[in-house]
Structure 1
Amino acid sequence: VYVPISREQQGEFHGLIHEMKMYHEHFHIYFRISVAQVELLLAELGPHLRRQGNNIRELIDPEQFLATGDSFRTIAFSFRVGVSTVSQIIPQVATAIWDCLVDNFMAVPSTADWWSIAEGFQERWHFPLCCGALDGKHVQTKAPPNSGSMFHNYKGTFSIVLLAVVDARYRFCVIDVRGYGRTSDGGILANSTFGQALRAGTLYLPPDQPLPGEEHRGAQPHVFVADEAFPLRRELMRPFPGRLLPLEKRIFNYRLSRARMIVEGAFGVLSSQWRLYRRSMELRPEIAEKCVKATCVLHNFLRCWDERGAPAVRGVAPAVVEPLQGLGRVAANNSSREAVLVREKFMAHFSAEGAVSWQPKE
């Protein structure tokens, strides 16, 4: 929905967000966010984005870069400033966006937050005890100097990896940025703070409980859903491998894929909103990380908005955004017997009490 804003609000917004693409008086300006959202952004970011120099208030906003991915030289020409000025201000503003919004729109999930996410997956995607969909996205960058093949990925490009857990409403719950492009998704998970917390059991997930209507099968853990690139673990479900599978396994794969596609949808929305994802970033990895984090928290800001136009301040978040400290040893992909049993319980549930009307039946 495009909401027109008044000339007074345009003037205030021009003072905060540079008049790029808005400078002509005959232009009719529309935003994909509501007036209330604009006002909140102004209130939150204004004090951090304004710079004082030579008694002249200066402000350059990275919106042009986040929205288009243009080079620093192009942006410098558009704003009539030096390239070095742009190279300093863009990471500073990206950091300010993250620092101002992260506590309200990507806070570290508590046990109550995991409960809420699991209820959302049960209600919207018919996957019980699911605390999020997990996947990685390659963010293309130019090859950093003297990096060798560290950032070279299987697609033949150079990238850093955005590892993300997404809730049932396409909001980022947990992100981990700056994984090396050459590393597999399973390796990124193993070396991430989130993966380490998952293995150590320190994510504060809700206690085990029976699947709906299946108390006789016993309590089951809350899980995350992922594709076949990730290992099968007690709290991490992946599909059964192979093609010629029995009906029960095909049903499980379908139900898991239906819930897992939420993270693919979130990446798609992110790429459509911020065009810097459509080209290679000519940035150092640490600067690219700041921009990726800024777009992720802005994505949540735009989605965490209830029907009354006020921000929903439920946590979705990143206790996992610390940079990786090296590849280390990737954990073995062998599944424990307990993880196999958990997946079999979910498989049986989806073909019995948890069956839905549109899935195939014998």
Structure 2
Amino acid sequence: MEDIHNLVFFLFAMWLYITRRRQALFERRLQAARRNTVEKMRRVWELMEEDTFPRRRRRRRQRMLHVLLKRRRRPSIWAVSRSNEWWDEVVPGFTRTEWVHHFRMSEETFLDMCGKLRPAMEKRDTNFRVCVPVKKRVAIALWKLATNSEYRSISHLFGVSKTTVCRCVREFCLAVCTLLVPQEIRFPDVDKLQEMAAGIEQSWGLPQCIGAIDGAHIPIIAPHEKHRDYINGRGWHSIILQGVVDRQGWFWSACAGMAGSLHDAQALRMSSLWQTAEEGRVFSTRTRNIAGVNAGYYILGDAGYPSKTWLLKPFPDDGQLTAEQQTYNETFRKARMMVTGAFSRLRGRWRCLTKRNDSDIEVVKSMVLTCCALHNLCERRGEEYRQEWDAVVAAPTPAVTPGQDGDEEEGEDVRGALMIFFNNLSL
């Protein structure tokens, strides 16, 4: 043990000696350089003060010397030469099928979206360099959202820097959240609620139902602060996306950014949907008598959500369900396919939701809401969805657990009335 201490002390002494030696050598060289500079300046002044030069030439040399001593190095502007051949020559020749394959939408939808986002994303040329056009900036962001490729790969493909790619993605998501999200994802009005309820009743026989709710875990890297709060039931970091869709699979409510460790019921209480529903501003606007119960509008949730008059869930399958309860659960399961299908298409079209995102949590949140808005935009315009996109291996979703934390057991009368309603229809 003493030998080890001696060896450590010897190595430390050697390192200290070498460091001091190098520092002393640097100081001597610096002093020598300063002395040489002073000597050169002295010789120059002596030369200009000699009488061999006429007075006019001596003054001119003095002015030149002052200018040389005070002159600052002029700044230089440069840019790396990058290839834009793919964007300038290949992309203009894309067919409609290639546009949908690469950007998840047709060129017509792409150009229409660029026109809507132009006020927020357009840049101006400067005296130093030409700005990246709006179309190219939007295309860069769509490529990132559709493929979740690395910034380096996208920069090589589009002929821009990695910093430009990152900036384009951030600004595109911010513009979409500001301009498109309020248009594409919004609470329905009274007429729209009635139309949605009629469509769902026609498709699955559920009266007064206006949609279904579900959640998804979006993989992220571990945040610097409170990273344990974002570890979900599967053991990896994520944020929660909570969405409500209608019969067509369009989102009319979306909330993202909650920590992955939260239960579905806890995430619901943190969303704006909970406050709006509890205040009765949406679901109680119109009631209907169902088997003797005045039921308002409601949405369908799984076992992880609390039972409310405006949020119904199936009967827990404990192996002792009655035939009426089984009929209710089967109808319930078929109707909830509208939300499972919507989330499947959302993840298939925008693969950034299925792979771990290395951006900041606020950026990931804006990306998730952007994907929801783009999903609605593509679905409304009838954009093609390819079944091959379903083959993407998505991150496994934590298992659904029954509601906890003192969930209110309301809405039992509405659920019982619907059970009677379904069984009367089957008679």
Report the TM-score, using the length of structure 1 for normalisation: 0.78
Separation (CA, whole Å) in 2 of partners of 1:224 and 1:258: 14
1:29 aligned to 72, 92, 95, which one?
Answer: 95
Superposition deviation, residue 34 in structure 1: 4.8
Q: Does 1:51 align with 2:123?
A: yes
Q: Does 1:109 align with 2:109?
A: no
Contact 2:147 2:350 in 1 (8 A): yes
State the aligned residue count.
310
What SS does the aligned partner of 2:124 have?
strand
Equivalent residue, structure 2, for 1:320? none
Contact 1:136 1:163 in 2 (8 A): yes
In the TM superposition, what are the counterparts of 1:56-205 in structure 2 within 5 Å? 56-59=130-133, 60-61=137-138, 62-203=141-282, 205=284
What SS does the aligned partner of 2:166 have?
helix
Contact 1:115 1:206 in 2 (8 A): no
Equivalent residue, structure 2, for 1:15? none
What SS does the aligned partner of 2:345 have?
helix
Paired-residue identity, %:
24
Contact 1:20 1:64 in 2 (8 A): no
Q: Which has the higher contact order (CA 8 A, sep 6+)?
A: 1
Separation (CA, whole Å) in 1 of partners of 2:419 and 2:88: 54
What runs of 5+ residues in structure 1 fail to find an aligned partner? Answer: 1-17, 308-329, 356-360
CA displacement 1:37-72 (0-9 Å, x = unmatched): 344223212343332232523142301110111233
Contact 1:111 1:204 in 2 (8 A): no
CA displacement 1:280-320 (0-9 Å, x = unmatched): 0111110001111111111111122379xxxxxxxxxxxxx
Q: Does 1:302 align with 2:378?
A: yes
Contact 2:298 2:311 in 1 (8 A): yes
Two-structure CA RMSD over aligned residues (Å): 2.5
What runs of 5+ residues in structure 2 fail to find an aligned partner? Answer: 1-83, 384-403
CA displacement 1:89-146 (0-9 Å, x = unmatched): 2111112123332343223321222222111211222211001100111111111112
1:270 aligned to 346, 368, 376, which one?
Answer: 346
Equivalent residue, structure 1, for 2:424? 352
Equivalent residue, structure 2, for 1:236? 311
CA displacement 1:134-178 (0-9 Å, x = unmatched): 011111111111223111101221111110000000000100110
Amino acid at match of 1:116: E
> How has the CA–CA distance of structure 1 residues 154 and 23 changed in structure 2, closer, same or farther, with 3 Å as cutoff?
farther
What SS does the aligned partner of 1:144 have?
coil
Contact 1:111 1:205 in 2 (8 A): no
Report the TM-score, using the length of structure 2 for normalisation: 0.67
Q: Which shifted more, 237-246 or 53-62? A: 53-62
Separation (CA, whole Å) in 1 of partners of 2:86 and 2:267: 38
Separation (CA, whole Å) in 2 of partners of 1:199 and 1:332: 17
Amino acid at match of 2:181: V
More helix by share: 2
In the TM superposition, what are the counterparts of 1:182-331 in structure 2 within 5 Å? 182-203=261-282, 205-211=284-290, 217-241=292-316, 242-305=318-381
Separation (CA, whole Å) in 1 of partners of 2:229 and 2:117: 35
> How has the CA–CA distance of structure 1 residues 151 and 22 changed in structure 2, closer, same or farther, with 3 Å as cutoff?
farther
Separation (CA, whole Å) in 2 of partners of 1:82 and 1:34: 26
Amino acid at match of 1:229: G
Equivalent residue, structure 2, for 1:13? none
What SS does the aligned partner of 1:63 have?
helix
